[in-house]
């Protein structure tokens, strides 16, 4: 046997291999057929063979034992434990034999327990030995009622001071305490971590053992931390500033108080000239709170339906989270008042967060630190939470004191080894250390599930699960317009068989000049759209480049521009395999980018033709349009809406709602209804679409609606879809319908699109579109292909990615110049028109002229004004009606019918309430009216009005009077109960709990008769807190009736736990 230990699994055992181990090595499984034959013992047993030929039989391990090799189940945890060298690292597996030696096991357990719970001289000696063996690791110790021991290696200290600020929110310290590291539950491990750019991760800056969590405990921790930062800065010759101590904490009063006290004491001992009050304020301005704690608390609270009613969860969440990014203190208070008004039960919870000490750490509008420092710090303590998990994985938890100290030393050595490896150039990771940053760079967010649009989020939902959540089942019924797939439209019915693609290839021999994108993995939808897009932008490439070349590299529109720019500057004129391969690589790379950004669902699956461009322009980065809109304006249409309502007393009469910014639309979709209205003429449809005069539409309810309840009873009319800007690249898709002739396609396409003849402004502004290309769809093989007209060429080119290795061909027959302005498109057999593409003649300049002309028309017709005269940014809109000069915007805090009153989508205007600005009493001595009353007196002639409807009969006059009364905005008169207000004011002055009211405010109201029968009549507003109450000063009347105290309900007694019957009892019952 060569002195090797062998464990043989018998045939009847559940084991399937032989465990083979040389002395000093871990057990390793080897195939069972390689073991020498042995006699099989009794079932469920193991044979241990030794070098001297002795064997002993023991029971086999039960089948539910933990895995023999836990590293296969927890690879990161076990490898980390082996790296740190702790006793938790698995070395071998031993069969469960200890139950055979109970006495010996108990003895060993006693020895281990005594070693772990050392007290007195033994602990002092052991701790002294630990300090001697690891000099400099313990940097501070205070052993008393408050015990704090701080640990720090020289490497940890070196990471605390940086030469300058790092890019991104990774500056400052993140501190938190863990409660499970030590076995003693009163003991805490407090850690302050710092980000290391060399290791690309957070590393511990200081460890502290504390026997509690009071202000004094945290004060010692932060005092040691500040001292080590000062020492390191002095060694490097760096000036010590307050910002070096900035960091992120949770909202513990003890932790925050300890930080402030340590900072004040640290600065005072070093001769800082600031007063104690100034130092306290400076310390508070160095702390930022964890926003994740607040968000998690909001999520928890919205599930308590006694606080947040059913169906109002999203409104509560939106309004509370809006507090985080309020613009200023006034806006913050307004938003908080709205939350308290709409969810009064949550008021104590919100006031806790609004406490000034916590508010300055959490809400940006309440912060006292500089904005630059605020954005440079992390917004959460997640980094420290991850540090806790990593330490638990490396060295475990529930340590004795000295064992825990040694484990912390191993953790510090682990990070030092990583740092040394980086300095030597040794790789410490074989994949990106922060993959979420790469994800955010590609798709604008760290997780696909955080997509701003709901469609992308739903793609991750399990399609094998029914709608079984409250959000899905209790959502209000909304009517949404849906777009039918453009892949199944306009199918031309024909009895002739379609010519196979292989046969078609033989009939074509005339190639176009340039190559394009060869087919690969269902790429026809992207190949066709990219091909047509390039043909359009290439008509005036400099115009397109001016709006896209300076975009950030992380944007998809920038990647699209780079593809077109390479192709535009290419000097290759012949069709060759190399250029075709380059086009394939560009297309495949762009397709992967679309998948990462969530614009498409899969890399190899077919998609709709233009679904991706709308995602890149409107959904990828919605805030980009407010800074730079020209690149998006190239592909988008802008439309405005105006909503009017006659209103009621709640709105003070007539009110208006508009969009704060024009609505953005990508590729236009025309429906079967549009076909019927325009008789199949695309030119007629286009003229109606861009017309500035749109008919008003009656709407059943005012927009002031909440949870299905209409809050305003006025009559509403809307003006919708008024176009104010058209794209340079106009893409028009078509929906499916059935009422068309079998002999040809339903639409008549023109080579030029113009506004209606009556639209003089549209014609003069140069809104003229030239046809560039058409994309067809063949249902039989689900295939897209295109026909287009290149710049300065008369030939019609056909591009089919399945043919000629992605090279376009010149279609024989018609020339573009030979096609009349009014013609019927020749659709290939078995195909249907999916989309047509036009280019705006004049490009950006024509687009600007049309926007300027349409802005003036909207001001005249709809009282809309645009903040920007150009499309360099997405223009904001305001409403100014000369017929209603008293209209003013509704404050956000008063838009209670909206889930998020601070939404920037719409803006409402209401009639301003009239206010008496001055009031002068009239005395008996006044013989003339006041000066300000004289202009209000009108002459007799002005009061006389000739009859306007004198020729009408009674019925006509009655109808006209009714129309005027119904359609004219009614003035608002506020009803005021003066007597009630006076009594309310009298009660407040008499019975408020204040110095002024005196003893009368101490619940004396009505106490001459009785104690209100358990009713509390005092308003909380009356308690000013100025005067302390005393029960001895309360006086009662002679006939005072005292109600007996309410009975206290008895708490239900807990049921006794069921006890297992013993074997003897069970036997007696069976025998009996």
**Is the CB of residue 400 less than 8 Å from the CB of residue 117?**
yes
- The 3-class SS string of 569-612 reads HCCCCCCCHHHHHHHHHHHHHHHHHHHHCCCCCCCCCCCCCCHH
pLDDT exceeds cutoff 50 at 866:
yes
Distance CA 827, CA 1017 (A): 83
Nearest Cα to Cα of residue 320 among 904, 895, 902: 902
Q: Is 282 a residue whose pLDDT tops 60?
A: yes
pLDDT digits (tens, 9 = 90+) for 639-652: 999 999 999 888 88
Which tokens is 585 given?
Answer: 């690589």
Q: Among the three residues 388, 406, 424, which one is the final residue of a domain in this structure?
A: 424
Report the C-alpha gap between 141 and 215 in whole angstroms.
16
Q: What is the distance between the alpha carbons of residues 568 and 401, in angstroms, rounded to a whole number?
A: 70
Whether residues 351 and 398 fall in one domain: no
How far is 840 from 543, CA to CA, in rounded Å? 11
Tokens 């969590």, residue located: 213
pLDDT of residue 478: 43
Mean pLDDT, rounded, for 98-113: 52
Looking at residue 37, its pLDDT comes to 42
Cα 65 from Cα 13, distance rounded (Å) = 14
Please compute the mean of the pLDDT values over residues 393-406 and round it to a whole number.
Answer: 90
How sure is the predictor about 480, in pLDDT bands with cuts at 50, 70 and 90?
Answer: very low
Which residue do the tokens 């969009």 mark? 659
Q: Please state which of the ranges 169-183, 390-404, 910-924 shows the lowest mean pLDDT.
A: 910-924
Whole-number pLDDT of residue 1065: 60
Tokens 């100025």 belong to: 1026
Q: Quick check: 519 pLDDT over 70?
A: no
- Give the pLDDT of residue 235: 92
The mean per-residue pLDDT over the stretch 487-499 comes to 32
Does 522 or 853 have the greater pLDDT score? 853
Q: What is the pLDDT of residue 158?
A: 93
- Determine which of 258-262, 264-268, 436-440, 596-600 has the lowest per-residue pLDDT on average: 436-440
Strands 729-734 and 716-725, bridge-based pairing: unpaired
- In this prediction, residue 362 carries a pLDDT of 93
pLDDT higher than 90, residue 154: yes
Q: What is the pLDDT of residue 639?
A: 94
CA distance 509 to 494: 27
Which span out of 315-324, 924-933, 1059-1068 was modeled with the highest average pLDDT? 315-324
220 pLDDT above the threshold of 90: yes
- The answer to whether the beta carbons of residues 916 and 974 sit under 8 Å apart is no
The pLDDT of residue 786? 84
Identify whether 722 is part of a domain.
no
- Exposure of 633 in the CB half-sphere (CA atoms within 13 A): 29
pLDDT at 619: 82
Least confident of 781-795, 929-943, 966-980: 929-943
> What is d(CA 310, CA 314) in angstroms, rounded to the nearest whole number?
10
pLDDT digits (tens, 9 = 90+) for 296-346: 999 999 999 889 988 888 889 988 999 998 888 988 998 899 899 889 999
Residues recorded for the chain: 1072
Residue 928 domain-assigned?
no
13 and 102 in a single domain? The answer is yes
Predicted confidence at residue 987, as pLDDT, reads 77
- d(C-alpha 881, C-alpha 864), whole Å: 8
Classify residue 310: in a domain, yes or no. Answer: yes
Structure tokens at 100: 């055979």
Compute CA distances 60 → 42, 50, 170, whole Å: 10, 17, 54
Task: Please give the average per-residue pLDDT across 205-226, as a whole number.
Answer: 95
Q: Are residues 275 and 398 in the same domain?
A: yes
Structure tokens at 273: 């000239």
Q: Give the span between the Cα atoms of 613 and 534, in whole angstroms.
A: 13
State how many domains the chain has.
5
pLDDT beyond 50 at 18: no
Percent of the chain with pLDDT over 70: 64
Does pLDDT of 23 surpass 80? no
Tens of pLDDT along 736-783?
A: 644 444 433 457 777 788 886 555 555 556 788 988 888 888 877 778
Q: Both 260 and 398 in a single domain? A: yes
Closest CA to 369 of 219, 241, 243: 243
Write out the two tokens for 254: 């003890």
788: which strand partners?
A: 773, 797
Q: With a cut of 90, say whether residue 149 has pLDDT above it.
A: yes
Give the rounded percent of residues in the chain with a pLDDT score beyond 90: 30
Give, as one character, the DSSP assignment of residue 497: P
Radius of gyration of the chain (CA): 40
Last residue of a domain, one of 368, 395, 416: 368
- Give the number of other CB atoms < 10 A from CB of residue 371: 9
Q: Pick the residue with more confidence: 1049 or 301?
A: 301
Q: Could you give the C-alpha distances from 463 to 456, 480, 606, in angstroms and in order?
A: 14, 22, 19
Residues 983-1006 pLDDT 10s: 878 877 777 777 777 777 776 666
344 and 273, same structural domain? no
Mean pLDDT of the chain: 75
What is the CB-side half-sphere exposure of residue 774 using CA atoms within 13 A? 20
DSSP three-state, residue 490: coil
Chosen domain end from 345, 368, 391 = 368
Interatomic CA distance for residues 61 and 832, integer angstroms: 70
Evaluate whether residue 29 is within a structural domain: yes
What pLDDT sits at residue 806? 58
Query: Is residue 971 scored above 80 in pLDDT?
Result: no
CA-wise closest residue to 61 among 95, 11, 10: 95
Task: Examine the domain organization and report whether 102 and 130 are in the same domain.
Answer: no
User: How sure is the predictor about 735, in pLDDT bands with cuts at 50, 70 and 90?
Assistant: confident
Average pLDDT score over residue span 661-671: 89
Quote the pLDDT of residue 38: 40
The more confidently predicted of residues 925 and 248 is 248
Please check whether residue 28 lies inside any domain of the structure: yes
Residue 457: pLDDT over 70: no
Highest mean pLDDT among 378-387, 421-430, 481-490: 378-387
Q: Tell me if 675 is assigned to some domain.
A: no
Instruction: Give me the sign of the Cα torsion angle 471, 477, 483, 489.
Output: positive
Same domain assignment for residues 524 and 603? yes
Mean pLDDT of 698-721: 89
Do 295 and 280 lie in one domain? The reply is: no
The predicted pLDDT at position 117 comes to: 54
> What per-residue confidence (pLDDT) applies to 68?
41
Q: Residue 83: how many CB atoms within 10 A of its CB?
A: 15
Q: Report the number of secondary-structure helices (H) and strands (E) in the chain.
A: 33, 31
For 523, half-sphere exposure in the C-beta direction (CA atoms, 13 angstrom radius) is: 25
Q: Judge if 178 and 310 occupy the same domain.
A: no
Helix (H) or strand (E) holding 772: strand 769-778
Considering the domain architecture, whether residues 394 and 310 belong to the same structural domain is answered as: no
The candidate with the shortest Cα–Cα distance to 643, out of 722, 759, 724, is: 722
Which residues lie closer than 8 Å to 678 by C-beta, 6 or more apart?
684, 685, 688
* Low-confidence winner among 343-352, 569-578, 603-612 (lowest mean pLDDT): 569-578
pTM beyond 0.85: the answer is: no
My answer on whether 403 and 282 are in the same domain is: yes
Output b/e per residue, 872-887; b: 16+ Cβ within 10 A.
ebbbbbebebeebeeb
In a domain, 1050, yes or no: no
User: For residues 995 and 525, what is the distance between their CA atoms, to the nearest angstrom?
Assistant: 80
Q: Is residue 363 part of a domain?
A: yes
Task: List the structure tokens of 1042.
Answer: 């005292």
**Structure tokens belonging to residue 210:** 């504390």
Question: Which residues 6+ apart lie within 8 Å of 138 measured at CB?
Answer: 130, 131, 149, 150, 151
Residue 799 and residue 827 in one domain: yes
> What digits encode the pLDDT tens for the residues 461-475?
455 556 666 555 555
Q: Give the distance, in angstroms, between the CA of residue 932 and the centroid of all CA atoms in the same chain.
A: 57
- Reported as half-sphere exposure (CB side, CA atoms, 13 A), residue 57 has a value of 9
For 132, the domain range is 125-286+377-424
């Amino acid at each position: 046997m060569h002195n090797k230990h062998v464990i043989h699994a018998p045939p009847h055992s559940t084991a399937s291999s032989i465990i083979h181990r040389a002395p000093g090595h871990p057990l390793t499984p080897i195939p069972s057929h390689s073991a020498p034959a042995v006699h099989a013992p009794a079932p469920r047993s193991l044979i241990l063979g030794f070098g001297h030929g002795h064997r002993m039989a023991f029971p086999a391990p039960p089948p539910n034992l933990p895995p023999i090799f836990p590293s296969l189940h927890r690879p990161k945890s076990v490898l980390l434990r082996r790296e740190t060298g702790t006793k938790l690292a698995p070395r071998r597996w031993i069969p469960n034999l200890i139950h055979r030696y109970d006495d010996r096991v108990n003895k060993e357990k006693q020895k281990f327990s005594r070693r772990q719970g050392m007290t007195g001289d033994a602990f002092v000696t052991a701790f002294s030995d630990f300090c001697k063996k690891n000099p400099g690791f313990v940097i501070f110790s205070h052993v008393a009622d408050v015990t704090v021991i701080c640990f720090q290696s020289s490497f940890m200290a070196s990471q605390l001071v940086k030469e300058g600020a790092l890019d991104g929110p990774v500056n400052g310290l993140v501190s938190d305490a863990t409660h499970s590291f030590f076995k003693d539950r009163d003991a805490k491990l407090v850690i302050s971590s710092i980000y290391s750019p060399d290791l690309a991760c957070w590393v511990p800056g200081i460890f502290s053992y504390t026997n509690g969590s009071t202000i004094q405990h945290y004060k010692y921790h932060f005092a040691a931390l500040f001292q080590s930062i000062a020492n390191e800065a002095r060694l490097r010759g760096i000036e010590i500033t307050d910002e070096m101590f900035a960091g992120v904490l949770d909202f513990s009063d003890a932790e925050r108080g300890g930080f402030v006290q340590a900072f004040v004491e640290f600065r005072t001992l070093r001769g800082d000239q600031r007063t104690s009050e100034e130092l306290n304020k400076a310390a508070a301005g160095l702390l930022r709170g964890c926003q994740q704690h607040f968000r998690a608390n909001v999520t928890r609270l919205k599930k308590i339906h006694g606080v947040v009613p059913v169906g109002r969860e999203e409104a509560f969440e939106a309004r509370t989270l809006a507090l985080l990014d309020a613009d200023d203190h006034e806006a913050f208070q307004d938003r908080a008042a709205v939350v308290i008004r709409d969810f009064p039960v949550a008021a104590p919870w919100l006031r806790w967060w609004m406490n000034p000490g916590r508010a300055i750490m959490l809400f940006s509008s309440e912060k006292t630190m500089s904005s630059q420092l605020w954005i440079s710090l992390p917004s959460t303590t997640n980094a420290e939470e991850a540090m806790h998990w990593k330490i638990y994985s490396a060295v475990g938890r529930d340590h004795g004191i000295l064992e825990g100290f040694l484990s912390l030393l191993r953790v510090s050595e682990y990070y030092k080894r990583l740092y040394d490896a980086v300095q030597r150039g040794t790789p410490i990771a074989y994949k990106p250390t922060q993959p979420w940053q790469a994800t955010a760079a590609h798709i604008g967010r760290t997780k696909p599930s955080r997509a701003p649009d709901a469609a992308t989020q739903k793609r991750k939902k399990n399609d094998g699960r029914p709608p079984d959540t409250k959000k899905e089942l209790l959502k209000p019924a909304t009517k949404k317009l849906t777009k039918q797939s453009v892949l199944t439209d306009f199918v031309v019915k024909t009895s002739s068989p379609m010519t196979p693609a292989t046969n078609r290839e033989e009939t074509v021999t005339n190639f176009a000049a340039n190559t394009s994108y060869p087919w690969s993995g269902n790429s026809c939808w992207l190949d066709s759209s990219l091909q047509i897009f390039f043909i359009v932008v290439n008509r005036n490439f400099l115009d397109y480049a001016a709006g896209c070349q300076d975009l950030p590299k992380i944007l998809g529109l920038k990647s699209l521009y780079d593809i077109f720019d390479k192709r535009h500057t290419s000097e290759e004129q012949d069709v060759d395999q190399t250029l075709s391969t380059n086009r394939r690589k560009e297309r495949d790379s762009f397709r992967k980018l679309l998948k990462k950004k969530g614009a498409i669902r899969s890399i190899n699956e077919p998609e709709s033709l233009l679904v991706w461009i709308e995602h890149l322009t409107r959904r990828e980065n919605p805030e980009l349009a407010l800074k730079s809109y020209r690149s998006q304006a190239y592909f988008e249409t802008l439309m405005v809406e105006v909503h009017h309502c006659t209103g009621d007393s709640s709105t003070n009469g007539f009110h208006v709602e508009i969009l704060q910014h024009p609505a953005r639309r990508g590729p236009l979709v025309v429906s079967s209804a549009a076909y019927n209205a325009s008789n199949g003429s695309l030119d007629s449809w286009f003229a109606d679409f861009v017309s500035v005069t749109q008919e008003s539409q009656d709407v059943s309810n005012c927009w002031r609606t909440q949870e299905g309840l209409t809050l305003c009873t006025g009559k509403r009319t809307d003006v919708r879809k008024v176009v104010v800007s058209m794209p340079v690249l106009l893409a028009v898709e078509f929906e499916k319908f059935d009422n068309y002739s079998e002999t040809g396609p339903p639409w008549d396409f023109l080579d030029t699109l113009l506004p209606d003849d009556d639209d003089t402004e549209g014609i003069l502004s140069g809104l003229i579109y030239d046809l560039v290309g058409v994309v067809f769809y063949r249902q039989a093989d689900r295939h897209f292909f295109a026909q287009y007209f290149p710049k300065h060429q008369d030939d019609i080119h056909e591009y089919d990615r399945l043919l000629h290795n992605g090279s376009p061909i010149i279609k024989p027959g018609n020339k573009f110049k030979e096609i009349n302005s009014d013609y019927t498109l020749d659709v290939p057999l078995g195909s249907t028109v999916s989309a047509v593409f036009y280019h705006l003649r004049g490009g950006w300049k024509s687009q600007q002229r049309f926007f300027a002309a349409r802005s003036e028309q909207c001001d005249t017709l709809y009282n809309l004004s645009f903040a920007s005269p150009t499309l360099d940014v997405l223009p904001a809109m305001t409403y100014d009606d000369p017929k209603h000069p008293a209209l003013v915007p509704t404050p956000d805090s008063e838009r209670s019918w909206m889930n998020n009153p601070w939404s920037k989508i719409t803006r409402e205007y209401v009639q301003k309430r009239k206010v008496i600005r001055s009031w002068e009493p009239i005395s008996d001595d006044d013989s003339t009216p006041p000066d300000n009353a004289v202009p209000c007196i009108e002459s007799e002639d002005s009061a006389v009005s000739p009859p306007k409807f004198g020729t009408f009969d009674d019925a006509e006059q009655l109808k006209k009077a009714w129309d005027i009364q119904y359609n004219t905005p009614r003035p608002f008169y506020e009803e005021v109960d003066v007597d009630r207000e006076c009594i309310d004011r009298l009660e407040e002055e008499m019975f408020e709990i204040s110095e002024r009211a005196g003893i009368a405010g101490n619940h004396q109201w009505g106490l001459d008769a009785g104690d209100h029968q358990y009713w509390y009549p005092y308003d909380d507003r009356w308690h000013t807190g100025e005067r302390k109450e005393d029960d001895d000063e309360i006086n009662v009347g002679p006939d005072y009736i005292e109600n007996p105290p309410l009975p206290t309900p008895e708490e239900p007694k807990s049921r006794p736990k069921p006890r297992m019957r013993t074997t003897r009892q069970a036997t007696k019952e069976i025998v009996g």
